[in-house]
Amino acid sequence: MEKVIIRGFCPEDLETVIMINKVCLPENYSPDFFMEHHWENPRIFLVAQVGEKVVGYNMCRIEFGISNIKREFAKKGHVISIAVLESYRGAGIGRKLMEEGMKNVRESGASEMYLEVRQSNLPAIQLYRKLGFRAVRVLEGYYRDGEDAYLMVANLEEGRFQNGSIIMPDA
C-alpha cells in the first residue's frame, strides 16, 4: 500500500467523506452537518489519504461541560464519527486518524476526549483501549436500531506526545 497521509478535511473532500460514512456506518449525516464541523473545528476534522484517494475520516468537535473523568467543568474533545473504507482496514489507518485527532484536540486545550461506540464493535473498542480510552458508562438504546453504546473516555493529560503521536502510559 502507498503511504498514508493524515491531513485536514477540506470542502473538496465532502462527497468522498459522505460516501465513506454511508458505506461504513449506519448513522449518516447531512452535508451541512459535516461542513458545520469543518468550519467550527478545522484542525480536528481529519481525512486519511492513500495516493490521491481519501479512504477514511475522523470528525471531532470541542465541547465545554462536566468532565467524564473529574466531575468538574472541562474542555473536551468528542469523536463524532470515524470510519475507514473496509478494503483499507487493518493497516493502522484508524489508529493514525485517532492519534492525530487526539494530538490536535489536546493542542486545542482539551483535557479529555470521549466517544460513543457500539457494544458489538469489538475491533474499535480494542483500538480505543490501546489508545488509553476506558469505558465509563453504558448508554442504553443509544443507536437508532436500539443497540447500546459504551461511553469511552481518555484523559489527554495522562498521555505524552512523541514525534506527533500520543503515547498513553498503559498502551
CATH number at residue 95: 3.40.630.30
Residue 116 to residue 27: CA distance in whole angstroms: 12
User: What is residue 27's three-state secondary structure?
Assistant: coil
169 has a pLDDT exceeding 80: no
Residue 68 to residue 50: CA distance in whole angstroms: 35
Written as one string, the DSSP assignment of 126-161 is HHHHHTT-EEEEEETT-STTS--EEEEEEETTT-EE
Angle at which helix 122-130 crosses helix 93-107, to 10 degrees, equals 50
CA distances 80 to 3, 37, 116, Å, are: 26, 9, 8
- Sign for the pseudo-dihedral over CA of 48, 53, 55, 59: positive
Confidence class of residue 167 from pLDDT cuts 50, 70 and 90?
A: low
44-74 tens-digit pLDDT: 999 999 999 999 999 999 999 999 888 899 9
85-116 tens-digit pLDDT: 999 999 999 999 999 999 999 999 999 999 99
18 has a pLDDT exceeding 90: yes
Q: In total, how many domains does the chain have?
A: 1
Task: Determine the residue type at 85.
Answer: L
Residue 45 to residue 78: CA distance in whole angstroms: 11
Q: Which pTM was predicted? A: 0.90
Q: Specify the pairing of strand 73-84 against strand 112-118.
A: parallel
Provide the domain limits for residue 33: 4-167
CA distances 149 to 15, 107, 138, 141, 168, Å, are: 28, 28, 6, 7, 23
Residue 76 to residue 134: CA distance in whole angstroms: 15
